[in-house]
């Protein structure tokens, strides 16, 4: 019996990759056929009326909650002005299950007209009911939204897992709780973001003070790797400070954003406060960035798209926050707790299939323990259980799409061509299922190799030896990125000194992938502009106004 049979289960415990990973009846050829079936069902982004989709076999697994099956059974529309609306173009997206390559859901595809309607609805809400709400009421609505999300946590965790492929254990313990935390954290800020009285020295009697006002209509563009959590990073501070939002989720992973829109309406937000328009970067994303009615763009995604957004936003000087890519260093000093360092390195690169902007994809290990650590990581990587994310025993799921799988495999091949030593992985894993699975991959390489220079966005680790502190700091900083970094050592003073020298927006000491709503998130250099999370995020969603009052 395989995981794809009713009642099947991934074998618990360790063993080899073949023993631990769920076997599947379909072969690689079956995956290709499944992909063709998706294209035949709707074509790229066409969808629409016709015969019902043959839903992915994953939905037949006993782990899927009935409420999730039921919700996925109907076509999803655009959420504009507090109502569900058909797309003006009549086009629909077929959302694919990464574990099988088969259709998961059918979702309306927003075009330019739909984005225009959403922006206008957001503007009406800003200048109407939402803009007139007291801060305490904004906070109450955000708290209510957090409560509703928490009440439906299992449903959201399963939807996120099915749509992205990531393990449901991760969505249950991280994605959904962190989204809840963000809404609650910023709910509290709604009544605490203040201006100040200024000690003006201008001759005469004057009262000078500042006030914080919302930027206006925010276009929030979120990626496919953490759709719900990153949506909460943008929605919560924007709404707490009185803005309205047009949210464009990725065309690959729109499901939790649409389900969240239902909770927005249930919580009682005025129509138009939050609008959700799934669609492609072209035309929906471009229309949002170019729209004269949008005052700010908050984007998380690739540096290439970030550059295009900055260029477009410069035409009318839109405010911009960008959280982009990374090639983060993870440094293991010789005095580190080696077991913890290895576990941290595994978390740093294989969490979320390596589809993480801050993935610790460059592991610098001191030569004293290099061989031991490299072998330990390779052994552990070979035992990771792969399978559909919805399976509770899965430790690493599929990549998001066939095209992304091909991209990751091309980097692996490039590593081989440039002479990197492949220790484990390096190929698709057809035993895990018919979808977009790649085995966790570990290379020993050099700094000048492509796999050590460019963001791969997959479970591919390059391990690099070093000899001295100054050397490793210089090499760690030798990258156009600066999002995050990790340090492993028992010497606290050394750790702090190194942390201060690393050019990264976040540095973890004896840990990795640690996030909290209170802690700002963003990058140096080409990893972005501005900050998400924490009170620093609020600064990017408000304008400062100076007011002078003549008291004479």
193's enclosing H/E stretch is none
Beta bridge partners of 466: 366
**Does one domain contain both 76 and 100?**
yes
**Does one domain contain both 253 and 192?**
yes
**Does one domain contain both 444 and 367?**
yes
**Does one domain contain both 266 and 350?**
no
Distance CA 234, CA 284 (A): 18
- The SS3 assignment for 245 reads strand
Distance CA 346, CA 401 (A): 23
Distance CA 8, CA 499 (A): 47
Distance CA 508, CA 162 (A): 30
160 in catalytic set:
no
- Domain range holding 462? 329-526
Domain edge (last residue) among 291, 323, 355: 323
- The SS3 assignment for 203 reads coil
Mean pLDDT (the chain) is: 92
Indicate if the pLDDT at residue 461 is higher than 50: yes
140: exposed, middle or buried (Cβ count in 10 Å: 0-12, 13-18, 19+)? middle
Distance CA 26, CA 99 (A): 12
Output the domain CATH number for residue 517. Answer: 3.40.309.10
**Does one domain contain both 305 and 386?**
no
pLDDT > 70 fraction of the chain, expressed in percent and rounded: 91
Helices 227-240 and 176-189: crossing angle in degrees, nearest 10, is 10
Output the domain CATH number for residue 56. Answer: 3.40.605.10
| Catalytic residue of the set 102, 251, 323, 455 | 323
**Does one domain contain both 163 and 235?**
yes
Which three-class secondary structure string do you get for 1-70?
Answer: CCCCCCCCCCCCCCCCHHHHCCCCCCCHHHHHHHHHHHHHHHCCCCCCCCCCCCCCHHHHCCCCCHHHHH
Q: How far is CA 258 from CA 84, 121, 237, 312, 416, in A?
A: 10, 17, 19, 27, 42
Token digits for 213? 């006002």
Q: How far is CA 361 from CA 9, 211, 474, 498, in A?
A: 31, 43, 17, 19
Rounded average pLDDT over 175-199: 97
Q: How many structural domains compose the chain?
A: 2
Going by C-alpha positions, the residue among 116, 166, 445 that lies closest to residue 294 is: 116
The answer to whether 126 and 296 have CB atoms below 8 angstroms apart is no
Instruction: pLDDT band for 416, please (50, 70, 90 cuts).
Output: very high
Please check whether residue 22 lies inside any domain of the structure: no
pLDDT > 90 fraction of the chain, expressed in percent and rounded: 89
**Does one domain contain both 279 and 245?**
yes
Indicate if the pLDDT at residue 317 is higher than 90: yes
> Where is average pLDDT lowest: 1-10, 22-31, 440-449?
22-31
Please check whether residue 538 lies inside any domain of the structure: no
**Does one domain contain both 73 and 181?**
yes
**Does one domain contain both 281 and 345?**
no
Domain edge (last residue) among 280, 307, 323: 323
**Does one domain contain both 371 and 389?**
yes
**Does one domain contain both 312 and 366?**
no
Instruction: pLDDT band for 265, please (50, 70, 90 cuts).
Output: very high
Total Cβ atoms within 10 A of residue 33 = 14
pLDDT at residue number 18: 29
Task: Name the residue with higher pLDDT: 199 or 53.
Answer: 199
């Amino acid at each position: 019996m395989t995981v794809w049979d009713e009642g099947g289960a991934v074998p618990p415990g360790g063993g080899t990759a073949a023993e631990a990973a769920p076997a599947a009846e379909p072969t690689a050829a079956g995956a290709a056929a499944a992909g063709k079936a998706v294209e035949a069902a709707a074509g790229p982004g066409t969808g629409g009326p016709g015969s019902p989709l043959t839903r992915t076999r994953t939905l037949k697994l006993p782990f899927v909650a009935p409420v999730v099956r039921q919700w996925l059974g109907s076509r999803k529309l655009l959420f504009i002005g507090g109502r569900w609306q058909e797309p003006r173009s009549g086009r629909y997206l077929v959302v694919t299950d990464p574990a099988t390559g088969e259709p998961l859901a059918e979702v309306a595809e927003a075009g330019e007209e739909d984005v225009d309607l959403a922006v206008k609805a957001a503007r009406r809400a800003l200048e109407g009911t939402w803009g007139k709400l007291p801060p305490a009421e904004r906070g109450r609505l955000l708290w209510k939204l957090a409560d509703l999300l928490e009440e439906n946590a299992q449903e959201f965790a399963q939807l996120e897992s099915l749509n992205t492929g990531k393990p449901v254990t991760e969505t249950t313990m991280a994605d959904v709780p962190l989204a809840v935390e963000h809404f609650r954290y910023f709910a509290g800020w709604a009544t605490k973001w203040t201006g100040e009285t200024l000690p003006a020295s201008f001759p005469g009697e004057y009262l000078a003070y500042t006030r914080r006002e919302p930027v206006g209509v925010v276009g929030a563009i979120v990626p496919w790797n953490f759709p719900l959590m990153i949506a909460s990073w943008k929605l919560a501070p924007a709404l707490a400070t009185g803005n309205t939002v047009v949210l464009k989720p990725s065309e690959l992973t729109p499901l939790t954003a649409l389900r969240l829109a239902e909770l927005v309406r249930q919580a009682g937000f005025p129509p138009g406060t939050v609008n959700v328009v799934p669609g492609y970067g072209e035309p929906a994303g471009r229309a949002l960035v170019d729209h004269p009615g949008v005052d700010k763009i908050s984007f998380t995604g690739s540096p290439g798209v970030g550059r295009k957004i900055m260029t477009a936003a410069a035409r009318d000087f839109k405010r911009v926050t960008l959280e982009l890519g990374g090639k983060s260093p993870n440094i293991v000093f010789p005095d580190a707790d080696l077991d913890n360092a290895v576990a941290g390195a595994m978390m740093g690169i294989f969490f979320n299939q390596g589809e993480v902007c801050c993935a610790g994809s460059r592991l610098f290990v001191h030569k004293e323990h290099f061989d031991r650590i490299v072998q330990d990581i390779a052994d552990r990587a070979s035992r990771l259980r792969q399978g559909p994310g919805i399976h509770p025993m899965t430790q690493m799921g599929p990549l998001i799409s066939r095209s992304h799988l091909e991209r990751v495999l091309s980097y692996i091949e490039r590593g081989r061509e440039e002479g990197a030593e492949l220790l484990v992985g390096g190929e698709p894993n057809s035993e895990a299922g018919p979808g977009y699975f790649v085995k966790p991959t570990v290379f020993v390489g050099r700094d000048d190799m492509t796999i050590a220079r460019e963001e791969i966005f997959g479970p591919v680790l390059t391990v690099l030896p070093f000899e001295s502190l100054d050397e490793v700091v210089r090499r760690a900083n030798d990258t156009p990125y600066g999002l995050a970094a990790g340090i492993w050592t028992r010497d606290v003073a050394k750790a702090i000194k190194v942390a201060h020298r690393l050019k990264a927006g976040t540095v973890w000491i004896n840990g990795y992938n640690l996030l909290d709503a209170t802690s700002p998130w963003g990058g140096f250099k080409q990893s972005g502009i501005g900050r998400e999370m924490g009170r620093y995020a609020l600064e990017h969603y408000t304008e400062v106004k100076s007011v002078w009052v003549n008291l004479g």
